[in-house]
């Protein structure tokens, strides 16, 4: 049995690119799947892409050239994966703002998607974001972007890499959509603060400070429940910008 070493080298380099891209997605992140599963997934997709493309492997004549090619693949994959990471971060921005306003600022949960402590409301919004991302077939869009990146920036290509400059406006979109997610609940909490201020002036004997904690939690959670339908359109717009970012980045434009 003979093995095409050139094809095998292409598959290995593409697997490195895919592993770097999926490491930044909340669904296939570094802590949600066991290590062997992540390796097999990246290797399987790398083999499929290597067999479906006409790109040839770069000439590897030393360990240094192999390391340089692997580092370049990591950077290309990270550029694609960072697009989803910035979109996911919008939920954490909204969650941090809402937790501070609702009194959940010290109630953090361990988020397995990022491996860090996340705001309580941000964790809920993050789970909803991942569900909508999968419902929009975002994982299919990522695979198509990876396939397009192989054509525009094949392994060993000496030209410019993917357009990293596209990530800069995406970082601004993170704050815009994060504010859009938090806006309905922030409005409800603002009205609650105004009502408490009126009560404190009309009934000075009322302990507004203690009552405010309970009321802000109640109205904040109620606003969160009522704004779920509105949040769906925000998530759709957020991931639509992510898909466009993947297309531009993979195409090198």
Identify the pLDDT of residue 51: 76
The SS3 of residue 248 is helix
Q: How many Cα atoms occupy the beta-carbon half-sphere of 69 within 13 Å?
A: 21
Q: 10 Å Cβ neighbour count for 82?
A: 22
CB 181 within 8 A of CB 90: yes
Q: For the chain, count helices (H), then strands (E).
A: 8, 2
Whole-angstrom Cα distance, residue 49 to residue 17? 11
Burial grade of 24 (CB within 10 A; 0-12, 13-18, 19 or more):
buried
Among 20, 246, 30, 45, residue whose Cα is nearest residue 138 = 246
DSSP 81-112: HHHHHHHHHHHHHHHHHHHHHHT-TT-EEEET
Tens of pLDDT, residues 100-151 = 777 776 566 555 555 566 667 777 788 888 888 888 888 888 888 888 888 7
Q: How many CB atoms lie within 10 A of CB 142?
A: 25
Where the chain has pLDDT below 70, the residues are: 1-4, 26-33, 57-58, 105-119, 156-164, 206, 252-253
What is the DSSP-derived secondary structure letter of residue 166?
A: G
Distance CA 52, CA 17 (A): 16
pLDDT at 170: 78
Closest CA relative to residue 219, chosen from 121, 97, 102: 102
- Phi (first) and psi of residue 15, to 5 degrees: -65, -35
Distances, alpha carbon 203 to alpha carbons 197, 206, 207, 210, 222, in Å = 10, 6, 9, 14, 26
In this predicted structure, what is the pLDDT of residue 76? Answer: 82
In this prediction, residue 159 carries a pLDDT of: 58
Residue 117, helix vs strand vs coil: strand
The model carries a pTM of 0.74
Domain regions of the chain by residue span: 5-251
User: Alpha-carbon distance 172 to 193, whole Å?
Assistant: 29
């Amino acid at each position: 049995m003979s093995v095409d070493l050139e094809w095998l080298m292409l598959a290995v380099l593409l697997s490195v690119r895919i592993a770097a891209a999926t490491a930044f997605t909340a669904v296939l992140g570094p802590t949600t799947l066991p290590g062997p599963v992540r390796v097999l997934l990246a290797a399987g997709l790398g083999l499929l892409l290597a067999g479906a493309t006409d790109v040839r492997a770069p000439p590897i004549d030393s360990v240094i050239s192999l390391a340089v090619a692997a580092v370049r693949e990591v950077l290309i994959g990270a550029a694609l994966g960072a697009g989803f990471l910035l979109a996911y971060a919008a939920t954490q921005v909204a969650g941090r703002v809402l937790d501070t306003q609702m009194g959940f600022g010290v109630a953090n949960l361990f988020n397995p998607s990022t491996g860090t402590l996340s705001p309580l409301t941000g964790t809920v919004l993050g789970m909803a974001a991942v569900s909508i991302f999968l419902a929009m077939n975002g994982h299919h869009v990522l695979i198509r972007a990876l396939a397009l990146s192989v054509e525009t920036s094949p392994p060993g290509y000496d030209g410019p890499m993917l357009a990293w400059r596209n990530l800069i406006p995406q970082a601004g979109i993170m704050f815009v959509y994060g504010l859009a997610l938090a806006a309905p609940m922030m409005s409800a909490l603002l009205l609650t603060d105004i009502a408490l201020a009126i009560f404190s002036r009309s009934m000075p004997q009322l302990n507004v400070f203690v009552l405010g904690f309970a009321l802000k939690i109640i109205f904040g959670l109620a606003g969160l429940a009522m704004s779920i339908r509105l949040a769906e359109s925000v998530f759709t717009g957020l991931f639509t910008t992510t898909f466009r970012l993947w297309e531009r980045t993979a195409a090198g434009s």
